[in-house]
Amino acid sequence: MKRIFAAIKIFPDENFLKLYYRLKSGLKHEKIKWVETENIHITLKFFGETEETKINSIINVFNKVTEDFKSFDPELENVGIFGSSYKPKVIWFGIKNNEQLINLSNSVNENLIPVGYISDRQNFVPHLTVARIKFLNDKRLFRQIIDKNKTIKIQKIKVDKIYLFESILKREGPIYNVIEEFPLK
């Protein structure tokens, strides 16, 4: 069994890193697990523990899906949270002009049905998880820092590949190994 997921890898630029480290520094007194910058990505499909015999079927689906999509350049912008303002769970960066990304996600989900992966009922909300919140000591300060960066341009990204990753969970954090790359047209 391998724990796998399909994603679009993000290569942070200087502006992205400035914002990331500014948030991390401003919230250093809180119990927050920050995603390592080399692991930041947009998840298209999380498969979880998967039998190795199914991986070839998944690879075939992504080879088929990527034939129909050209590369595109969405913009990362805005900082937000998942969870309530009383109990936030995740800090994320948003994605502007994400129609192509939503279409890509829908195509992935539709094409995975015949190989046994039923789409979950949640709508795809394109985002980058940058941190997971364990506990907040000062919710007011946290809210101020998030609100200050709520509407901000972050970085233009190039989406020209989908990656199938194996996620190996370690005490220090996950290690993502590329199983396969799928270039867009």
Confidence of residue 8 (pLDDT cuts 50, 70, 90): very high
Q: What is the pLDDT of residue 120?
A: 72
Contact present, 12 and 40 (Cβ < 8 Å): yes
Stretch 157-184: mean pLDDT: 95
Active site residues: 41, 127
Res. 65: pLDDT tops 70: yes
Q: What is the pLDDT of residue 85?
A: 82
HEC string of 83-138 equals: ECCCCEEEEEEEEECCHHHHHHHHHHHHHHHHHCCCCCCCCCCCEEEEEEEEECCC
Tell me the pTM: 0.91
Confidence of residue 139 (pLDDT cuts 50, 70, 90): very high
Res. 123: pLDDT tops 80: no
Q: What is the pLDDT of residue 173?
A: 85
Q: In one letter, which amino acid is 65?
A: V
Residues 6 or more apart in contact with residue 93 via CB below 8 angstroms: 16, 19, 76, 77, 78, 79, 127, 128, 130, 154
DSSP tag of 30? S
Contact present, 39 and 174 (Cβ < 8 Å): yes
Which residues sit opposite 171 in a β-bridge? none
Token digits for 90? 């995740």
Which residues sit opposite 183 in a β-bridge? 161
Res. 70: pLDDT tops 90: yes
Res. 82: pLDDT tops 80: yes
Res. 91: pLDDT tops 80: yes
Domains of the chain (ranges; CATH) run 2-183 (3.90.1140.10)
Q: What is the pLDDT of residue 121?
A: 64
Q: In one letter, which amino acid is 152?
A: I
pLDDT above 70 covers a percentage of the chain that reads 99
Length of the chain: 185
